[in-house]
Amino acid sequence: MEKLKPLFNLDDLKAPVLSGNGLTGKDILSVGQFDKYTLDYIFTRAKEMQNMVEKVGGVDLLKGKVLACMFYEPSTRTSSSFIAAMERLGGSVIPITQGVQFSSVSKGETLADSIKVLEQYADVIVLRHPEIGSAQVAADSASVPVLNAGDGPGEHPTQALLDLFTIKEELGSLDGLTVSMVGDLRYGRTVHSLTKLLLKYNVKLRFVSPEILRLPLTVMNQVIDAGVDVRETHDVSDVIGNTDVLYVTRVQKERFTDLQQYEEVKDFYVITPEIMEKAKEKMVVMHPLPRVGEIDPAIDSDPRAAYFRQARNGMYIRMALLAGVLGRA
Ligand code: CP
């Protein structure tokens, strides 16, 4: 593999080194776009971003560039980490994060028209939208890069990248691990995206959910086709002792049409200190957040609880992606 030139000379941050890359001008819509080489490239750049932020807080790599941050569904982490990423790289943000009722969509404007207008002002667009395929619709309308920040129960590719980066940072490798996903595997788009990325590595996958929240067949068929060692169960205690990454998810109330069904499964799993006693000494608990009860806050102080470090890694990954698609990495 070609050795990357460093993005920044950490001893002389006033003059960051720039070099070419394969992300320039690209949309980021699905994890299917990434091969292992590109993943390694992004993780190397994200690590450089981390080192730079820890040393000087920010640089002017994207000075003069503008990000339109369009969130048609609620978000804390994805929206604010994209905004922080742009600002730490010296760029500016148009924040459309107050909900669709405050944009002209409430007057009947189509997504395609909103995108065509925003690209008049911005160099890159980040979109979260409740409908599967909306990011593709936006990308088809836009001449600037579009980054999918979650399209309904479809995909959340930048989250999957930060999840994978976190596993690598925490455990040192992406191979030889047993990854157990727990909770809402049906609607949890982060689970779908992360599972697809993990198929590129030598992993064992364990899926833990109530019957009605099992992983969709479309994703499970990809797992089976990849020949990965996979098992499904309803019981966390079946997997906890052999797990390296416990990836816990929230039951997504907003995706249920039958709220009675939601009530029946919402408290199905709670990761407690008692469960953690059965876990390996070297493993991590991750969660894309927000959590609504599925991880007992009593384990926040456990060094294996990686979910807040995971959220921070989102900023570094998004810095690397923004610099990449804007041709500055
Ligand atoms: N993980 C995640 O997507 O969080 P937000 O919904 O807060 O963006």
Domain boundaries, the chain: 31-156+314-325, 157-311
Active site members: 77-78, 107, 128, 156
Does 31-156+314-325 match 157-311 in CATH topology? yes
Pocket test for ligand 1, best of 72, 78, 254 (most atoms within 8 A of CB): 78
Residues of the chain with pLDDT > 90: what percent?
78
List alpha helices for 28-74, DSSP H.
36-56
**Helix, strand, coil fractions of the chain, as percent rounded to 5:** 40, 15, 45
State how far the alpha carbon of 204 is from the alpha carbons of 18, 41, 172, 193, in Å. Answer: 38, 24, 17, 16
pLDDT confidence of residue 10: 61
pLDDT confidence of residue 122: 98
- Over residues 116-168, the pLDDT tens digits come to 999 999 999 999 998 989 999 999 999 999 999 999 878 899 999 999 999 99
Of 88, 8, 66, the closest CA to residue 318 belongs to 88
Given a cut of 80, whether residue 18 has pLDDT beyond it is no
Q: What are phi and psi of 126, to 5 degrees?
A: -110, 130
Q: What is the mean pLDDT of residues 260-283?
A: 91
- 31-156+314-325: CATH topology: Rossmann fold (3.40.50)
Ligand 1 atom with minimal separation from the 81 CA: 8
Query: Range with the lowest mean pLDDT among 22-26, 176-180, 274-278?
Result: 22-26
Distance of CA 62 to the CA centre of its chain: 22
299 confidence band (pLDDT: 50, 70, 90): very high
> Which residue minimizes the CA distance to atom 5 of ligand 1?
75
CATH number of 157-311: 3.40.50.1370
Of 237, 255, 259, 258, the closest CA to residue 246 belongs to 237
> Which residue minimizes the CA distance to atom 4 of ligand 1?
77
Residues of the chain with pLDDT > 70: what percent?
91
- Per DSSP, which regions of 123-235 are E strands? 124-129, 146-151, 177-182, 203-208, 229-233
**305 alpha carbon – ligand 1 mean position (Å):** 18
Whether residue 166 has its Cβ less than 6 Å from ligand 1: no
Pocket test for ligand 1, best of 69, 129, 159, 194 (most atoms within 8 A of CB): 159
Ligand 1 atom with minimal separation from the 156 CA: 3
pLDDT confidence of residue 266: 84
pLDDT confidence of residue 11: 60
